[in-house]
Structure 1
Amino acid sequence: MAQAKAEVLAGAEFIEWSAEEARRTYGLVIPARNAEVLQLTLREPVGPVAAFAPWNFPINQCVRKLAAGLAAGCSFVLKGPEDTPGSPAELVRAFVDAGVPGNTINLVYGDPPMISGHLIPHRVIRKISFTGSTQVGRQIGAMAASHMKRMTLELGGHAPVIVAEDADIEAAVKFMVLQKFRNGGQVCTSPTRFLVQQKVFDRFVEKFVKQCAELVVGDGLDPATEMGPLINRKRVDSVSELVDEAVSLGAKLCTGGNRIANKGFFYAPTVLTNVPIAARIMNEEPFGPVALINPFNTLDEALEEANRLEFGLASYAFAGSAATVAKLGKGIAAGMVSINHLGLALPEVPFGGIGDSGVGTEGGAEAVAQFLATKFVTQQTIGG
């Protein structure tokens, strides 16, 4: 419940930020070579947008698309998630109640391939905005490109966390347990591959496992609950398979690794250490409550592992010295790097990835720019 309330409040903040950004969709006056020529660039809305939102943040993932696009002057056909249909419907109702014309935001549900196959090629649609898995994102991107449509793709991740030996271990554990198990780990920016320097490895694991084991898992409506169930049985089975395979290959199970009470879709917060690189979970996004913790000796080793995968969405690091912080900030290949605190997903900062994690951004001043086209106008004075 606390996380749901936080999502709604964050959504409201993002809408407010985007509305203010509408005041700043500036063009340019470009100095001309001829005194009688005026050269201008104008920023115009790209046109109607087909937006596809996922279930894991049914308010914020819709808001990130709608708010920025509306600020730019675009209309929408929003394909809502079937697993969490109520929240987007009420969000659109709120926009209409606030005065957005009724035909500006159009909400549809249904078979995803059928809807995308109709909307993306349609001549009216000028831009595609999609949040979801890398696998589906590739298909959406290929279809959009074949029809010369602009696109913003926010896809999967496999976020590394580098913990240097001079880091504040208590702070690192506190921040990362909070971030790892938020929404049951069903978050594209969820920290997953923890790389901890050998000198502090045992201490970090001990504290991390202790806090994980103390998390209260249960009914999301209970104020005491810190983590609820996964979205469905398919997700539980997928996480279970990944964990079991890693353990069979030699990973050490420190806590969790099982369904809770064998009912519902509850899966225990899980920690695996010394996980082989060959394990699927080290290469595929688990999208669940599983932390993988491996040791490293030098920062170069940690950076090599952090950058090994083609994913490049979120990343995290903890270190004490300015030199180490600078090396990590420059060396990690990702669209977002948060060092010594949790500083991602604010309305005023960029949100997006590189490589297999997507194209474009959904935050900060760049978010509105994704929905604007630049028109160049050059004019010469005729006569007196």
Structure 2
Amino acid sequence: MNAPLLDLTYPHPRLIIAGRCVEQARDSEPVLNPATGETLGEVPHATDADLAEALDAAARAFPAWRDTAPPARGRIIRAAATLLRERRTAIATLITLEMGKPYQEALAEIETAAGIFEWHAGEGERAYGRVIPGGAPGERRLVLRSPLGPIAAFSSWNAPSITPSRKISGALAAGCPVIIKASEESPATALAVAQCLLDAGLPPELLSVVFGDPAWISQRLIEDPVIRGVTFTGSVGVGKKIAALALSGMKRTTLELGGHAPVIIWDDVDVDAVAKASSAAKFRNVGQVCTSPTRFYVHERVYDRFRDGVVAAAKAIRVGDGFDPATAMGPLANARRVTAMMELTEEARSRGVTIAAGSSAPQSPGFFWNPTVLDDAREDCLAANAEPFGPLALLRPVGSVEEALALANRLPLGLASYVMARDGTVANRLADGIEAGNVAVNSWRASLPESPFGGWKESGLGQEGGIEGLEAFQSVKCELQA
């Protein structure tokens, strides 16, 4: 059942080259509705001439935007945030069509994206330097921050408005033009975000949105001398290739890569409430979130009760079309994710792990998988070592702080993590001991616009958001004045 009064017409995807819509015939690939498997439209692939035009425009536009006063940049970015909110119904509809995310979740994503725009608009005005006392009378040493230059951005499909918004608004607020290769699986959402900026008065040469073969586009953009910085969100494997390309040109790189978020739950919590909240957090966006809580290490004294609560909550989740108001969890993004869930679940079963909930796909068209819970999942199963990126929760009992931290830190990943404990001393020991860039204590929010977000170990380089996110798009210059 479709939500009332929504226009479900899918717009024709296009390219935006230096603010200009490009719709001429090109190689293309289908955009699928994951709830039905049907084709929504065809997304065009950029040509070498398209990328050359985008690069030339960025190079030409950079000096004027670099010299534009930060408050003037901020006014445009804030105006774009206003347009995002005004168009939230239409853009949220695109998210649900392209990704299957429940419509109410899609609306919440738009609000987060608008908040990111507003944060960067203000932070661009706070790009402070500092004065270092001189070594002799009359001497001054000034530390100044300057825009880095044209940025090549690469965004993933799982947060189709948030991820492009974070990269584009951060770069623009710092004074940098952007060429973004957005996901071919959710192109209309990224284009809608870009259109808000253009309609807000952004000089068109500052922004291009392209699609196509990821390997070719990344190499073409990153190796071009016009590009001075690279920002990427995606898998660890691809991130390492992006980093190698950028390093060959000594280009500033920000990488937000995969995670396998641990959750440590102590024995002093409200077990029933935490179990219910854990299920909601785990199965949000079908678990297709880099910060998704996945490995639950639960104190042995409350393990059975927690497991029973999570299993009951998982089985109660209504899976279906994101436009149905009764739907709590939509489809996976594509058929590949369904295959991955099947393989991970069966591999765990073959090792003797109990499948306490789920482990199957609903009998319906589209790319669905039921919320799945693995009971007492030991570290030898594949799902405990490879990020599931789907509706799969792994539960395991622990008996001490030391055991919980050893299990939480055993993987070469460290993006988001979670601690649930009432005792402040225990909570601090756990939070301090976890090796991850972001630790949420008695909360499920691991990322906020005003806070730095980035991974440790193989989960990334640098941060997005907060003061640190703006600095990723800036160069530091020290002036010595005698």
Q: TM-score, normalised by structure 2?
A: 0.78
Aligned to 1:163: 265
Aligned to 2:50: none
Aligned to 1:242: 344
Distance 1:2 1:18 in 2: 25
Say which SS state the counterpart of residue 173 (structure 2) adopts. Answer: helix
Aligned to 1:35: 137
Distance 2:223 2:318 in 1: 47
The structure 1 residue matched to 2:468, chosen from 347, 362, 366, is 366
Out of 28-37 and 252-261, give the one that drifted further: 28-37
Aligned to 1:75: 177
1:200-235 Cα deviation digits (max 9, x unpaired): 000000111111111111010111211000011111
Q: CA RMSD in A?
A: 0.9
Asked whether the 8 Å contact 2:146–2:474 carries over to 1, the reply is yes
Asked whether the 8 Å contact 1:163–1:317 carries over to 2, the reply is yes
Matched, 1:55 2:157: yes
1:1-384 correspondence runs (5 A): 1-261=103-363, 263-380=365-482
The aligned amino acid for 2:104 is A
Deviation at 1:263, TM superposition (A): 3.1
For structure 2, the 5+ residue unaligned runs are 1-102
Distance 2:157 2:445 in 1: 23
Distance 1:121 1:299 in 2: 47
Distance 1:99 1:313 in 2: 36
Distance 2:458 2:274 in 1: 27
1:82-134 Cα deviation digits (max 9, x unpaired): 00000011111110000111010111100000001101111000000000000
Out of 39-48 and 341-350, give the one that drifted further: 341-350
Asked whether the 8 Å contact 2:417–2:446 carries over to 1, the reply is no
Say which SS state the counterpart of residue 199 (structure 1) adopts. Answer: coil
1:335-378 Cα deviation digits (max 9, x unpaired): 00011112322111111111110011111111111111111111
Distance 1:129 1:175 in 2: 32
Asked whether the 8 Å contact 1:184–1:227 carries over to 2, the reply is yes
Distance 1:352 1:216 in 2: 32
Distance 2:278 2:459 in 1: 21
Say which SS state the counterpart of residue 208 (structure 2) adopts. Answer: strand
Deviation at 1:167, TM superposition (A): 1.9
Aligned pair count reads 380
Deviation at 1:276, TM superposition (A): 2.5
Q: TM-score, normalised by structure 1?
A: 0.97
Show structure 1 runs of 4+ deviating over 6 A: none
1:113-170 Cα deviation digits (max 9, x unpaired): 0001101111000000000000100111111112101100000000001111112213
Distance 1:171 1:142 in 2: 45
Asked whether the 8 Å contact 1:49–1:128 carries over to 2, the reply is yes
The aligned amino acid for 1:31 is P
Distance 1:94 1:229 in 2: 28
Say which SS state the counterpart of residue 475 (structure 2) adopts. Answer: strand
Distance 1:68 1:177 in 2: 32
Aligned to 2:61: none
The aligned amino acid for 2:369 is Y
Asked whether the 8 Å contact 2:254–2:461 carries over to 1, the reply is yes
Asked whether the 8 Å contact 1:18–1:71 carries over to 2, the reply is yes
Distance 1:303 1:57 in 2: 29
Distance 2:394 2:197 in 1: 41
Deviation at 1:262, TM superposition (A): 5.2
1:281-336 Cα deviation digits (max 9, x unpaired): 10000000000001111111010000000100000111121110110111111000
1:14-51 Cα deviation digits (max 9, x unpaired): 10011011110011111101222221111101000000
State the identity %: 46
Asked whether the 8 Å contact 1:68–1:368 carries over to 2, the reply is yes
Distance 2:420 2:436 in 1: 16
Aligned to 2:30: none
Say which SS state the counterpart of residue 162 (structure 1) adopts. Answer: strand
Asked whether the 8 Å contact 2:232–2:256 carries over to 1, the reply is yes
Asked whether the 8 Å contact 2:276–2:309 carries over to 1, the reply is no
Distance 1:175 1:376 in 2: 49
Distance 1:168 1:129 in 2: 40
